[in-house]
Amino acid sequence: MLYLTILISFIFSTIAIPVLRKFGTKKHFCDEPAGDKLKIHKKPIPYLGGIGIFFGFILRLIFARLFHQISGLQATGIIIGSIVILFLGFWDDLKWKQFGNPILKLFYQFLAGSLIVLILIKIGVNFNFSINILIATVIAGFYIIGAMNTINMQDGMDGLAGGIIAISLIGFIYLSIIQENVFALIVSLSLLGGILGFLIYNWHPASIFMGDNGSHFLGFLIAVLAIMFTGHPLYNLKQFIGPILIIGLPIFDTALAIIRRLLKKTSPFQGDRDHLYDKLNQKGLSTKKTVLIYYAVQIIIVTGGIIIYSL
């Protein structure tokens, strides 16, 4: 029954996303390419895919609670946290790009992430990388804002961000199994099923995007999973490095992007088309080939993270 998790969330996501796509088109919840040189799509595309992944994920968690696979407190904590983060991202889709201050945005992300992690710690979700609850909360807040923004930076090509996170989730599923962490296993499987349902519609040429609502939501959950498996760096360096590597390629690409922008004396928050996937695409590789190369590199990095963690 436990491993039906992925199938249940996949079905819910696959059903929800066409409805959201139609609704987004009708209500103009779309990513408009007109006037934005960073956009590579040619027509408005709905950005409600993250909400579809969320529906698949949440409905599966509800099933998990009904069948007593996770506790009510665990289900409530992760559901409330996911809703808060999802709507923070949806606000970004709707309004923030027009007038938002990026520093203020980071502060809101950090505040929301830290408070949610504090709640998760209080309800019994185990975070091992700090012996002090306040320090753990602050560190977790930085993990979450980092993950949300790294995933957001990868969401620049059809099928890219969702596929990369799906590969990371396979890594966390493996860690969940070897550590017998049922809660992390259900979260990982539920999210993986939701993403696979989304990728059916996001594969090139995409008919729906995950939007900032999706990149925030996925970044939040992938950070929470990484934190759950992260050991204290002074006592277990392998279990500190391993989960970071399982998040994988987005971290390295984001670090390079920040360094590149600083060297050019531009804001690290200013978007560009100089990511590694953009360079591959500009060399003449198709979108599909570029994304598949990224998947292959992600598999190598995630595998390395699992090996290091398991040593």
Summarised one tens digit per residue, pLDDT across range 249-285 is 999 998 888 888 888 888 777 777 788 888 888 899 9
pLDDT (0 to 100) of residue 30: 92
Q: Tell me the sheet residues that pair with 30.
A: 46
Under the banding of pLDDT at 50, 70 and 90, the label for residue 35 is: low
pLDDT (0 to 100) of residue 95: 67
Q: Which amino acid belongs to residue 87? A: F
pLDDT in tens, 40-70: 778 999 999 999 999 999 999 998 888 888 8
pLDDT in tens, 283-296: 999 999 999 999 99
Residues 229/242, Cβ–Cβ less than 8 Å: yes
- Give the count of domains, the chain: 1
What is the domain extent for residue 51?
A: 2-310
pLDDT in tens, 135-187: 778 888 888 889 999 999 999 899 999 999 999 999 999 999 999 999 999 99
pLDDT in tens, 187-196: 999 999 999 9
The pTM score is: 0.93
- With H, G, I as helix, E, B as strand and everything else as coil, classify residue 46: strand
d(C-alpha 305, C-alpha 310), whole Å: 9
Sequence-ordered alpha helix ranges (H) in the chain: 5-27, 49-66, 72-91, 97-99, 102-122, 133-154, 160-178, 182-202, 211-229, 238-247, 249-263, 276-282, 287-310
Under the banding of pLDDT at 50, 70 and 90, the label for residue 203 is: very high
Under the banding of pLDDT at 50, 70 and 90, the label for residue 17 is: very high
